[in-house]
Structure 1
Amino acid sequence: MSRILLVVLVTTSSLSCAAPTARETTADAASTAMSLPGMPATGEPTFPRTATYYLDQDRLPPMDELARYDLVVLDHEWAHRVPESYFDGLRSRNPRVRLLAYMNLVDLPGALGSPGYWADRYALWQFDDPNSSAFPEEWLATTASGEPVSEWPRTTMANLTDVAPRVDGRIYAEYAAEWVADQVWSTGIWDGVLLDVWGDRIYSADADAWDIDGDGVDEPDSQIYGTDGPWARGLTVAERIMRERMPDAIIVANGDRSPVDGLLDGRAWESFADPMVERDPGMDLDRYLETSAGGGHRSPGVWMTIDRLGTGRSVADTYRRARFFLTATLLGDGYWAPMLLHYGSTAYYDEMDGAGLGPGYLGLPVSEVGLQGDAGRTVLRRDFENGIVLVNSGDNAEHVYLERPYRHLQGTQDPSVNDGSVTDEVVLEPLDGLILLRTD
């Protein structure tokens, strides 16, 4: 059979099972001779870029566990709950690590715990005690009849539109942005922030019309949301203040937010390309590549994909899913955050550090994303300094012929795939991916 390599530019640039546990890396796995860059002179981390989206409120993992990742998202309250030495320890263990403070500026909780444990939220939502808040009612999302609007159980949405009533001369978007700078960024602990529920539209709101400007008339969704709507304009007001007050901060939106004027660094995608939670893998991959390759964000961009892998049809299927999500992320410049059953359980897979080769073992990309194989096939490829990434986003297995021999990783989790062998052809199952190393 003839071997064809066709590379074209891509413009779009339940059954329960025991989940794989986090793996301790070992020196034995690093037997492949290779010079592996960690952080090049540009200061941008090499690939793969790894992350964790750890939102547990009661405990933090040991420093060594979090230090495995390049991007760590933690709730902003941890800056007040643990000594600063904890964060210093993370940075000393992994000079690549970037720490983002998770925050939700949209959902006013019905109650909070002690003021010492929830210092930031007490300040933001103006709680006097666990069950009493002085937060201005004018800044809450309500209907003209006074009914609160909610997008999450036991919470009330704040009104982030740019036409919200002013209290002491400010709309809520201005107040919230100043709180981020004064209460969170001022700690000096974080490299940036991740803004949850931060999209051009709030799809989960339980009202499709509410009074955004306090004039006694409910505006429908069509007059609230959209890239040019008052909600999105209010987000831009807040982003502009944060960028002015926090010029060096990484600012990432977790939601369907359009980047504007370089104010945001990037976006996060939850349940990225995961058909088990009714996501369309091909559509998610297209949007990820289109958004991250497009304009409007601050260069070079910080993008994050998040997947929960605690359940699957089998352990082998879980490893396949992990390979697919990571390699799909590698088609762009994002960080991949694998979690187990929830956002308080980290996960780690052989492909993330090459089964012991080290962080960023693939180096930097040396090619655009292209189609691999015969025209019409669904296998995408991206080349790096020290290897290649193949992704099959289609519904059928694909036999892939390579232009030269490459080496499989020498793994411990799924040695049926990562067996260390050298090959110039592979079979990729549907929704699977593969990392292969150069042999010279």
Structure 2
Amino acid sequence: MQKEGFKLLSYFFLLIIFNLLIVNSLEALSYPRTLNYYLDNFSINENSTLVPTLAQYDFLILDMEMGEVNPQALSEIRNINPEIKILAYMTVEEITTTYCYPGTYPLRNQLQNEIQDSWWLKTANHQNVSFWPGTRMLNCTPCCPEVNGNNWTTYFSSFITNEILSNSLWDGYFADCLFASVSWINSEIDCNNDNIVDNPQWLDSQWKTGMENFLAQLRQSNPNKLIVGNGNYYLWDNLNGVMFEELEGSNPNFGFNITWAQFFYYQQMLDTFHQDPVYNLVIARQPNNNPNNYQHMRLMLTATLMGSAYFGIDKGPEDHSDTWLYDEYNIDLGQPLESGQILGDNPLYNGSFANLNYWQTEVHYPLNPSNSILLGNDGGNTYAECHINNTDGVFWHYALKQDNNSSLYFLNNENYLIEFRARADHNRIIQVAVSENFGNYNWLTSAITAELTTEWQNYTFFVQSMNTANLTPNQIRFIFFMGQENGTIGIDDVSIRHIDINRILKREFENGIVLCNPTSTSKTINLPRTYYHLEGSQAPQVNNGLPCSTVNLPAYDGVILLSEPPQPLESPIVTINKTSEGILLYWQAVSGANSYRILSSNDPYFGFQPIATITNTNFLDVVGNRKFYKVIAIP
């Protein structure tokens, strides 16, 4: 693999030249795949600065207004990087309350003029509903009144199609705030305008239906455009992917508002659920807005590399407008050689109910045990059909269980995924548990409640085991409690799988190996062969180019190791001059180099950040203070 070489230069009233050699690899990238979420609009005058940097990413999200006010930027980015994917950003369920001037925000101005008063989402006492500060929410449910044949979602789908995706500079649409539910935002919402607060479950079902209708219409009108959403993991039918956004800043290690177990599971699961081509995205945030927190960047990048998502990192949701680039972005890992699987096998016997073997019902007086379970059949698919009769309202008086299973290991303080399908003859709840199979039958997880409907639904629960350290499999049972109400319940496709993340996660690639430690303790791993640290400028204590066969990873850290030692390109021979316009760098072309990356810092040894990537061999920087420079040759 080719690597990068560079020179370090400085100007401070007089010419000072430092010559260093630090190398990174950069070839046509397969992995890692990089993302920039850049929502600040910028003018044509800023293109010369921003365009070359933004063109270095593999996936780019820009505000929808850029296609109107600065289409030149999109064209120039594509000229530099023809393979880049560029999506237009706009929220689905809200718009700013600030007046948008048509000269700078023409599309939002059009929306503000065309949104009908009856489309706003209201509470039962007619108050506006707001999610993000300074915005106002719209009614995305089918209950939204129609005006001239459109409600909000049908109008907005047509707006995205006609005003944005008709512009060939966009590869697709990025739908922010694509929530699958809404009751959590405001407990007083009245989506059908009957002056009564909506039942939360009913409201959420209406909201999800409205979002599904919106996406279906948008997909039908744009079969060849990319549609990626942010804000949920359950509306996958018409999406090409979703974004995982690190919103929470109070946790310096992981702020995605889901657990580590959920993060890794969703990454892998959503790769198979979304439409091809799949573009799942991870946008992390640097704690305290510090771009030089290389450990957190490594942690989140290596965690992302356990799946197929594109990775970016910035200051977070209050300010997506950074162009941070890291040593790790420049390497070519090639394609993965393994899946990065974190899910164990299902230890339950006959979870798909080919028959009723290994499953029993437990029926207590006064419930009627007669015909308490039958083998149901739905279009050739068999399932457990449970009949609850003469209930006294006690949930544990009827149970479907599996016990005496010698494979049912339930490790202490570990993460597990419970999945099943279910339906009932009327809307109701059931409880799911893993418990001791003796004594007081103590539960080994927190309570799990599933809300069943009359249609088959898939149910997924993430649980953590507790108090299981001294238990053997035969002392553990898996159980559904259904005794609260009379009726008939169908259960199928039951599984419980270990999410194995309390360790160093590893994934091998064609050109290296990725290690991630998402735990709170330092861990050591012995490698199957000698690998090499990449060589870079930003974290030389880690990216030092040295060989290794054993790695000690601190808590919440990760590392990318290469199969072969880094080999540098020839270093540019750089000259620096002060001119009336600024500092001019120029050099002879390097054999094998297709472009050159310019980095600068106020310190000769630390804190270098890219300021431009260019194809010619000179660069003018307009500065008024001390600066140090690196010029890196890129193959």
Name the counterpart of 2:108. Answer: 121
Q: Give the CA RMSD over aligned residues.
A: 2.5
Q: Is the 8 A contact 1:259 1:266 kept in 2?
A: no
Aligned to 1:224: 203
CA contact (8 A) 1:292 1:332 kept: no
2:385 is the alignment partner of 1:406: no
Distance 1:272 1:286 in 2: 17
Structure 1 residue 153, shift from structure 2 partner: 2.2
Whether 1:434 and 2:413 are equivalent positions in the alignment is: no
More strand by share: 2
Whichever of the two has the greater Rg, that structure is 2
Structure 2 unaligned blocks of 5 or more: 7-20, 343-499, 566-635
Shift of 1:264: 0.3
Q: 1:393 aligns with which of 501, 518, 540?
A: 518
Runs of at least 4 residues off by over 3 Å: 25-32, 57-61, 277-281, 312-315
* Aligned counterpart, 1:155: 135
Listed one character per residue, the Cα deviations across residues 6-61 of structure 1 (whole Å, up to 9, x for unaligned) are: xxxxxxxxxxxxxxxxxxx75665577x9x544xxxxxxx1100011111135565
What secondary structure does 2:166 align onto?
helix
Q: Describe how 1:24-423 pairs up with structure 2 within 5 A.
A: 26=5, 29-30=22-23, 36-38=27-29, 46-58=30-42, 62-82=50-70, 84-126=71-113, 135-202=115-182, 205=185, 207-225=186-204, 229-261=205-237, 263-271=238-246, 275-276=251-252, 278-279=255-256, 282-295=260-273, 297-309=274-286, 311=288, 315=292, 318-340=293-315, 342-354=319-331, 361-370=332-341, 378-423=503-548
Deviation at 1:158, TM superposition (A): 0.3
**Which letter maps to 2:513?**
I
- Structure 1 portions without partners, runs of 5+: 1-24, 39-45, 127-133, 355-360
1:333/1:376 CA distance change after superposition, 3 Å:
closer
The equivalent of 2:494 in structure 1 is none
1:251 and 1:209 map into 2 onto residues whose CA distance is 31
Q: Does the residue aligned with 1:395 lie in a helix, a strand or coil?
A: coil
**Alignment match, 1:17:** none
Q: Quote the Cα distance in structure 2 between the aligned partners of 1:258 and 1:120.
A: 29
Distance 2:541 2:190 in 1: 59
More helix by share: 1
Q: Sequence identity of aligned pairs in percent?
A: 28
SS in 1 for 2:560: strand
Q: Deviations over 1:295-337 (max 9, x none)?
A: 2x1024111111222637995xx11001011111111111111
Q: Classify the secondary structure of the residue corresponding to 1:435.
A: strand
TM-score by length of 1: 0.80
CA distance in 2, matches of 1:90, 1:58: 13
Instruction: Kindly provide the CA deviation profile for residues 199-251 of structure 1, in whole angstroms up to 9, marking residues without a partner as x.
Output: 1124762x2132212333331322211xxx11111111111111111111111
* Worse-matched range after superposition: 210-219 or 406-415: 210-219
Distance in 1 between the 2:234 and 2:341 partners?
Answer: 26
Which is bigger in relative contact order (C-alpha 8 A, separation at least 6)? 1
The letter of the residue matching 1:170 is N
The 1-side partners of 2:161 and 2:95 are apart by 19
Describe the superposition over 1:57-100 as per-residue Cα deviations: whole angstroms up to 9, x where unpaired.
35565211101111111100011111x33222211212331101
1:334-363 CA distance string (max 9 Å, x none): 111111473122211111113xxxxxx111
> Which AA in structure 1 matches 2:279?
V
Aligned mates of 1:74, 1:99 — CA distance in 2: 7
Provide the residue aligned with 2:588 in structure 1: none
